[in-house]
Amino acid sequence: MSLQPILELKNVHSGYGSIKALKGISLKVMPGEIVAIIGANGAGKSTTLMTICGIVPIEKGEIYYDGKLINKVSAEKLPTMGLCQVPEGRRIFPRLSVMENLRLGAFHRDDTDQIMKDIQHSYEMFPILGERKAQQGGTLSGGEQQMLAIARALMTKPKVLLLDEPSLGLAPIIIQQIFDIIAKINKEEDVTILLVEQNANLALQAASRGYVVETGEITLEDEAQSLLTNPKIREAYLGE
């Protein structure tokens, strides 16, 4: 692997006021990969993603995206550079229609024709969204909202997609669907994916590599398969 990582964190510290949530996170994501971050509740997984996206201000360390330092880049610039996040809890705009939610994903783009094509493409990928395109986002079910959130993120034409807890609160059958879609996006749309999950089993099966986060620090880093067979991980995160 002589490739340059598309996303790299070097000893990143951040937090909320006096509370330090991240105490030196370092990780690398190679182009085309699916990388999973697993860990318990409150370990700092979501904060990691929010720090990458510039929502939580970084205190120390460096974040490189595509070889460029993005510490000081403001949050709303990052999606235009191809770095997009599907946040925890999906955060659909509840009083905008499905269509409007998708169009907001393409807010920074000016190519109207291509945007309409992409919206059609989203409807093909998620037929349920096409059926409900005039409905308000807040009236969708959890699974539909998750699909909408992913579709909306894809509208920004991302190179790297950060996914935060895509399985949260969903029925097992829906979760399977979502993970199939994630794999499909990764292969067909050529999007690099950084995945944060509490459901370690699912995440590690989908991912090629994985990181384990505990209280704001990376404690383990390995191929996903070896993590799945690691007895410690099995005990701590896979419920055995």
C-beta closer to other proteins: residue 27 or 162 = 162
Backbone phi and psi for residue 6, each to the nearest 5 degrees, phi listed first: -80, -30
Task: Kindly determine how many residues on this chain lie close enough to bind other proteins according to the rule CB under 8 A.
Answer: 27
Shortest CB 145 distance to other proteins, Å? 12
Instruction: Determine, following the binding rule CB under 8 A, whether residue 93 of this chain makes contact with other proteins.
Output: yes
Least separation in angstroms between residue 60's CB and other proteins is 16
User: Which residues neighbour 230 within 8 Å (Cβ) at sequence distance 6 or greater?
Assistant: 220, 222
Tokens of 235: 């005990």
The residue range among 31-39, 87-95, 169-177, 205-213 that interacts with other proteins, by the rule CB under 8 A, is 87-95
Residue 112, φ and ψ in degrees, nearest 5: -55, -45
E runs forming strands in 40-150: 58-65, 68-69, 83-86
107 near other proteins, judged by CB under 8 A = yes
- Output DSSP code: residue 166: T
How far is 13 from 31, CA to CA, in rounded Å?
A: 24
Strands laid side by side in the 58-65 sheet: 19-29, 7-16, 58-65, 68-69
22-30, 37-45, 62-70, 93-101 -> range binding other proteins (CB under 8 A): 93-101
On whether the CB atoms of residues 163 and 195 are closer than 8 A, the answer is: yes
Q: Which of 29, 34, 35, 103 binds other proteins (CB under 8 A)?
A: 103
Site for other proteins in 36-65 (CB under 8 A): 53-55
Residue 108 or 232 having the CB closest to other proteins: 108
Closest by CA to 27, choosing from 211, 205, 200, is 211
Residue of 5, 15, 39, 79 that binds other proteins (CB under 8 A):
79
Q: Does 156 bind other proteins (CB under 8 A)?
A: yes
> Which residues of this chain interact with other proteins, rule CB under 8 A?
53-55, 74-80, 84-85, 87, 91, 93-96, 100, 103-105, 107-108, 152-153, 156
